[in-house]
Structure 1
Amino acid sequence: MIAVRRLSTIFARPITWIALLVAAVLVVLVAAPLAGLVAATVREDGGGSWADVLASSLSQNLFWQPLGNSLLVAIGTGLISTLLGGFLAWVVVMSDVPGRRIIGVLATIPFALPSFAIALAWESVFRNDRLGGNPGLLASLGVAVPDALSWGALPVTLTLVAHYYSLSFVVVAAALAGIGGDLIAAAELTGASRARVAARIALPAVAPALLSGFLLAFAEGISNFAVPALLGLPVRFQTLSTRLYGAISTGDTERGYVLAILLVLVAAVVLYLGNRATRGRSFAVITGKASRARTVRTGPWRWPLLAASLALVTATTIIPGLVLAVSTLLRRTNDLDGGFTLHFWIGASDPSIAQGFRGVLSDPVLLQAGMGTIALGASVALCAGALGLVAAYVVRRVRSNVVGAGIGFLAYVPFLIPGIALGAAFIAQFGAPIGPLPSLYGTFAILVVAGTAASLPFAFQTSRSALGQVSNELEEAALVAGAGTGRRIGRILLPLSARGVTGGAMLVFVTMVRDLSLVVLLVTPATPLLAVQTFRYTSEGFTQHANAITLVIAAVSVAATLLARRLQGARRPWTES
């Protein structure tokens, strides 16, 4: 009887039913697609796919060589991104180099750009004539560009670094801002040199941030599809993401699903090892006594440091945009002598130019893709924001640690799944009818569902942080006054946390607008998106059109990112006085 009463009491609480509903949605969005992905590879008609991928005459080309290429690119991306991001973070936060605020703002922009924007800019400059077609600007000027600089591992890695070093910069800058000046001053009073202070205090204190920056860049690098596809596939430089795309797009779905599972495992293992490396170690630098960050005097080195910093942010922020903008105005691809035109922006169909394709702003297909992209971003932002907020509220209010931990775990799992692998999981789960439910493949709905699942970790963490700033006393006072759960959420929690939640939803919107890896397997001609249209035009050699679409995506992404930062009111260490 006591157990029955306890159960009846538990199920009488609204939070219990909300928790069950959230858990059910997370199972459908996260657990079921992964389970379906695994099930598709072990059923009778797909059981041999594991042996084909791992231990057959095909495995070298199917898995092992792409795995080696993926690790090469991901490790290079992680290491160089951490080095460059850490360097800029030190310059902006701890040095006396002039212009630090401008450098700090410019250093955050590359991550807001689509990764293929920088790849297209690289191709416009460094493409040689190895594959025929129109060479890049350097080759058109008579400069002999080596193959290693045009195609393959080096340009793929450098392009990903130019995109993802912003992650390391933001993480390390925040950590450096937390190092109190009292610690550095105390070390200097003991006679320690600047090099010793840096090696024994500053570097160990930001070690977790450096590791986090590396892991983020590594995870993004190993799962990125657009850059290896644009700069690697033309010379058959395959990574796991491009091999996965090739397998599924050609109908070899079972092997593609195996590659997706292996890609998830590789990313998860590296993230686990990284977290294990700092487990149990103390990196505390914040004490009970407040102190301002201490600026390092760079003396005569300030100008070389300024030049190096400006060169880095200019090369990754300003130059790619200028290259893409100029390339869209060239009548002939990457040929400055051919004259300029606005045809690729506003031109009507002309059989003598680009095989009759209209300008991107006058093409109804691209206008439809633009509307679809905006609609997808808004829909995913709304769904992921709402689900993340409710999930964060459940974790905050539910009394069961098991339920809270389970919901938190399911909300975090998509972070471990590369976008293209998650897309494959949704094809495996929703690509065929399930009972009375029809197949979702080729519909707008599967894009929204997959986008919501992929964006959930960020929406959940943002909402959890926003709710954490609202005192429990306010909700408890409303409860005493007789306010129900819905009224407490709608009248107290939501208004007080709206700024952070809305800012997080805006960043989800940005991610969906510029993302290609997640949607490239899910999009069909019935559901065109700008990112996929860019990939299509690039693959078919219509460079000006591809670059113009990319600029549109970049403009929307940067504008939404700046708006999101404004809504969040995020404090940046380089803007503190």
Structure 2
Amino acid sequence: MSTMTLRQGLRLDGVLLLKLSVLALVGVLIAAPLLRIVLDTLSPGAIIAWSEVTTGRLSRNLLWVPLGNTLILGVGVACGCVLIGGFLAWLVVMTDVPFRRTIGLLATLPFMIPSFATALAWGSLFRNSRVGGQSGFLEGLGLAIPDWLSWGMVPTLIVLIAHYYSLAFTVIAAALATVNSDLVEAAQIAGAKRGRILFGIVLPVALPAVVAGASLTFAGAVSNFAAPALLGLPVRMQTMATRLFGLIEVGQTARGYVVAILLILISALFLWAGNAVVSGRRSYATITGKGGRAKRFDLGAARMPLFLAALLICVLTTIVPVAILIASSLAPSSSALFSNWTLHYWVGLSNPSFAQGQPGIFSNPFIVSATGMTLSLGVAVAITTTIVGLLVAFVLARYGRGPLSGTINQLSFLPLLVPGIAFGAAYIALFGAPIGPMPALYGTFPLLVLAATAYLMPFAVQTGRAVIQQVSGDLDESARMTGASFPRRLLAITVPLASRGLAAGALIVFVKIMRDLSLVVLLFTPTTPLLSVLAYRYASEGFGQFANAITVVILVISIAATLLANRLQTKSQPWLKS
């Protein structure tokens, strides 16, 4: 009896040690940078930044105007994404529209395209000569493009809606798929018209998903840096993300950190409010023990017009931006996208009489180095995030009870509430100066890896939990009873059995960091060049063709990795084939 008690005590001590180790790791990667950014603004020499940003004579330009623009973007994008995503989800899930699967596939693709890619494509089409540089394709045809369509709030809204509506589509479609067809059929038998069924049954049932989609797209829009920077900064339209970038870039770090904290609070508040609404609507039960039959609305004469409308939306947000980017990377001028194509922007040598002497991207040693650096960062972050995510997921899946596990769970998903550019600022605050014997990491590759690992941890943890739950806990318990250590059990049992799922999750992380700009734009230095930041810098300096060529490279790598990840997920989860 005493021997059994001793073993149980040792087991509990081992679990406690494992939880404390994982908590310390997550705390250093996530909690410490965020805490440091708050403490830095409360220090005696920096606390004045709060009054300068919020109530000082410059507060209008530092906070209130950017805050107003940010909220307009957030609310506008949330409404637009819910309308478009909800419309497409309703068509695909609940109607007899033709080619439903094709529309569903196309509707999920825009989120794979970086927002700066869509913004660059918009500029290639609609740019006018207001801020100098090249004119866009439409102005090259002789059309007068108004300023409001070329620059500022309207194009930024359109680009962000085109980028984020996939999120709303995915969430709402999943909810609509659970609507019991018996409800719809009963309403039809009772004589209810289509509009009454849609707004009286379907919409209330799907309301939690609509709110969730609005929350996610709002948070994405207010934290987005690329689109406001490319389409808004040329006409001095500032958002909180671009203002934060500008303050940190010119050395006003205390003010920048205050803006970062406020941006985090706004994003977190809206996500919390959305979650509260969703939590309060859990009384809607749409899945019962009775079998259900799929009941689709008969669109009648509207079937083909609605299909064409959906197809137009999908084509304009997926195929057209990519085609414009490719054409612009080959055309000497954006005003003539489809004539006199040249490969100079890809492989050309330096020529003083062409493109101000800039060589093609594959002939430019700096861009070639940036390609290698970006791929190395993607691989390194995929490995580190998968390892950390697996450790966290193992603790949560196997020993998920207790306050320590709850704290680990909350901290591991905290980056979802933090905009990428604010997270980058937090890492500068923590690692920008030496910490004891550890030197300052700013401008180094390890800082990029650490920041990206922490920022993308929620995705790795979610993937890790999914694959670990597929592996029976009895296997781990049997190995523990034979005396196998935790690392031995993890490497010999869990990892081999969940290898395909883990590889798919690693590829998803690889894709996210490959096309990310918000997180890395503050961490970029000439010693750590990255493709996404170089594309932004080229676009900002008027070299649109080079920016578009670099973006096409990012797209090709990202799409290839995404397709491979989907293939691995399908093989590790056979039910996805049906």
SS at match of 1:139: helix
Deviates more, 1:109-118 or 1:167-176: 167-176
| Structure 1 partner of 2:47 | 47
The amino acid that maps onto 2:393 is: A
Deviates more, 1:173-182 or 1:330-339: 330-339
Q: Is structure 2 residue 235 aligned with structure 1 residue 235?
A: yes
User: In 2 relative to 1, CA 417–489 (structure 1 residues): closer, same or farther, beyond 3 Å?
Assistant: same
- Answer yes or no: is the 8 Å Cα contact 1:503–1:568 preserved in 2: yes
Deviates more, 1:362-371 or 1:559-568: 559-568
| Structure 1 partner of 2:546 | 545
Distance in structure 2 (CA, Å) of the matches to 1:36 and 1:360: 39
Distance in structure 1 (CA, Å) of the matches to 2:10 and 2:483: 19
Per-residue CA deviations over 1:299-337 (Å, capped at 9, x if unaligned) read 111110111011001100011111111111112343358
| Structure 2 partner of 1:534 | 535
| Structure 2 partner of 1:521 | 522
Deviates more, 1:168-177 or 1:26-35: 168-177
SS at match of 2:498: helix
Deviates more, 1:359-368 or 1:315-324: 359-368
Runs of 4+ in 1 over 6 A off after TM superposition: 5-8
| Structure 1 partner of 2:474 | 473
User: In 2 relative to 1, CA 8–94 (structure 1 residues): closer, same or farther, beyond 3 Å?
Assistant: closer
| Structure 1 partner of 2:120 | 120
The amino acid that maps onto 2:550 is: I
Q: Is structure 2 residue 360 aligned with structure 1 residue 367?
A: no
| Structure 2 partner of 1:161 | 161
| Structure 2 partner of 1:409 | 410
- Answer yes or no: is the 8 Å Cα contact 1:74–1:222 preserved in 2: yes
Q: Is structure 2 residue 389 aligned with structure 1 residue 388?
A: yes
Deviates more, 1:412-421 or 1:349-358: 349-358
| Structure 1 partner of 2:60 | 60
| Structure 1 partner of 2:175 | 175
TM-score (normalizing by structure 2): 0.95
Deviates more, 1:473-482 or 1:405-414: 473-482
Deviation of the 1:180 alpha carbon: 3.0
| Structure 2 partner of 1:422 | 423
Distance in structure 1 (CA, Å) of the matches to 2:501 and 2:577: 20
Deviation of the 1:7 alpha carbon: 13
User: In 2 relative to 1, CA 570–7 (structure 1 residues): closer, same or farther, beyond 3 Å?
Assistant: closer
Within 5 Å, which residues of 2 pair with 1:68-467? 68-281=68-281, 282-336=283-337, 339-398=340-399, 400-467=401-468
Distance in structure 2 (CA, Å) of the matches to 1:40 and 1:484: 42
Deviation of the 1:545 alpha carbon: 0.3
SS at match of 1:442: coil
User: In 2 relative to 1, CA 561–292 (structure 1 residues): closer, same or farther, beyond 3 Å?
Assistant: farther
Per-residue CA deviations over 1:403-459 (Å, capped at 9, x if unaligned) read 110000010111100000000000000000000000000000110000011101111
Distance in structure 1 (CA, Å) of the matches to 2:11 and 2:36: 31
Q: Give % identity.
A: 50
Please list every run of 5 or more consecutive structure 1 residues that lacks an aligned counterpart in the other structure. none
Deviation of the 1:194 alpha carbon: 2.5
SS at match of 2:340: strand
The amino acid that maps onto 1:495 is: P
The amino acid that maps onto 1:367 is: V
Per-residue CA deviations over 1:126-165 (Å, capped at 9, x if unaligned) read 1111112211011111111111111111100110011111
| Structure 1 partner of 2:28 | 28
Deviation of the 1:121 alpha carbon: 0.4
User: In 2 relative to 1, CA 328–391 (structure 1 residues): closer, same or farther, beyond 3 Å?
Assistant: same
Deviation of the 1:376 alpha carbon: 0.8
- Answer yes or no: is the 8 Å Cα contact 2:504–2:569 preserved in 1: yes
- Answer yes or no: is the 8 Å Cα contact 1:106–1:313 preserved in 2: yes
CA RMSD of aligned residues (A): 2.1
Deviates more, 1:490-499 or 1:224-233: 490-499
Deviation of the 1:33 alpha carbon: 0.3
Deviation of the 1:571 alpha carbon: 12
Per-residue CA deviations over 1:88-134 (Å, capped at 9, x if unaligned) read 11111221111111111111111111110000000011111111221
User: In 2 relative to 1, CA 336–564 (structure 1 residues): closer, same or farther, beyond 3 Å?
Assistant: closer
User: In 2 relative to 1, CA 83–437 (structure 1 residues): closer, same or farther, beyond 3 Å?
Assistant: same
- Answer yes or no: is the 8 Å Cα contact 1:89–1:173 preserved in 2: yes
Deviation of the 1:481 alpha carbon: 5.0
Distance in structure 1 (CA, Å) of the matches to 2:459 and 2:82: 21
Deviates more, 1:379-388 or 1:225-234: 379-388
Deviation of the 1:570 alpha carbon: 9.3
Deviates more, 1:305-314 or 1:334-343: 334-343
- Answer yes or no: is the 8 Å Cα contact 1:109–1:558 preserved in 2: no
Distance in structure 2 (CA, Å) of the matches to 1:7 and 1:421: 46
SS at match of 1:569: helix
- Answer yes or no: is the 8 Å Cα contact 2:49–2:254 preserved in 1: yes
Within 5 Å, which residues of 2 pair with 1:502-517? 502-517=503-518
Distance in structure 1 (CA, Å) of the matches to 2:305 and 2:417: 39
TM-score (normalizing by structure 1): 0.95
Distance in structure 2 (CA, Å) of the matches to 1:134 and 1:559: 32
Distance in structure 2 (CA, Å) of the matches to 1:421 and 1:7: 46
Deviation of the 1:340 alpha carbon: 1.9
Distance in structure 2 (CA, Å) of the matches to 1:418 and 1:398: 30
Please list every run of 5 or more consecutive structure 2 residues that lacks an aligned counterpart in the other structure. none
Distance in structure 2 (CA, Å) of the matches to 1:378 and 1:283: 43
Deviation of the 1:473 alpha carbon: 3.4
Distance in structure 1 (CA, Å) of the matches to 2:203 and 2:467: 30
Deviation of the 1:400 alpha carbon: 4.5
